Copies of this chain bind each other. A is one copy, B any other.
Amino acid sequence: MPIDIPEVVIERLPVYARALALLATDGHAVISSQDLGAELGVTPAQIRKDLSYFGKFGKQGRGYNVRKLLDELYQILGLNREWSMALIGTGRLGRAILEYQGFGPQGFRFAAAFDADPASVGEMIGDLPIGDVANLEAALLNQPADVGIVAVPASEAQAVIDTLVRCGVKAILNYAPIAARHPADVHLRQIDPVLALQSMTYYLKRLPRATAP
C-alpha cells in the first residue's frame, strides 16, 4: 500500500462506498466499473485506477462483488469503527449540527460539546453537557476526541483550531467561514455553503436570463 496516494483519490472512496451501500441494499451482487461510473458520473477508468492503488478487488469479465468491495472500502477508510467528535460552538449552527441525523448511522458520535457563553455552559443538549471552552484543552487531554467540529463565530475559529491542534486532534471539520491555518499533518475540511454559492454566481452572471427584481 503506497504512501503517496493522491488526496483526490481518498476523497472519492467514500463516494464509491456510499453508492455501493445503496446497491447492496437494492440487492445488486455484482457491478462493473462501467455501471458504477454511470451511476456516479465518473469514468470507469477513474474507478479502476483509484481502486488499483489498494489492490485487486474485481474479477475480469465480471466486475466487482458489491458486498466485498464495500467491505474493502470500509476497511481502507476505517469506517468499520466508531469515531468520537468534539463540538466547539453550541449556538444556532452548533445545535443544528448536533441534531443532524446523518452522522450517527455512519459511526460518528458526539463525545463532548463546548461553548464560550456562560449562559450555555452547564446546559444539557440531549445527554451531552456543554462544557466551558476555556477548559477545552484540559478536557481533550483528559478525554481525547478523534475529530473536532468547529462551529464558533469566524473571529474565534482560528484560536479554537489552534487549541485543537495543540491537543493532538488530527482531523477537523470547520464550519466557520475562514481560511484556517493548520499544520500539514492535521487534516481540515471546510463546510462553506456561502463560498459554494459565490462561485456559482460567476456562471449565473454570464447567463442571459435574469430573475425579476
Chain A interfacial positions (CB closer than 8 Å to B): 7, 10-11, 13-15, 17-19, 39-41, 76-79, 83-84, 92-93, 96-97, 99-103, 106, 108, 143-147, 168, 170-171, 173, 177, 179, 181, 187, 189, 191, 193-205, 207, 209, 211-212
Contacts and interface: CB of A to CB of B under 8 A. Distances in A.
A111 to B, nearest CB: 8
Given A78-B202, A201-B78, A201-B79, A195 B14 contact: yes
Nearest to A207: B170
B19 A202 contact: no
A5 to B, nearest CB: 9
Nearest to A5: B202
A177 B21 CA distance: 12
A100 B151 CA distance: 12
B108 A200 contact: no
A71 B3 CA distance: 43
A27 to B, nearest CB: 16
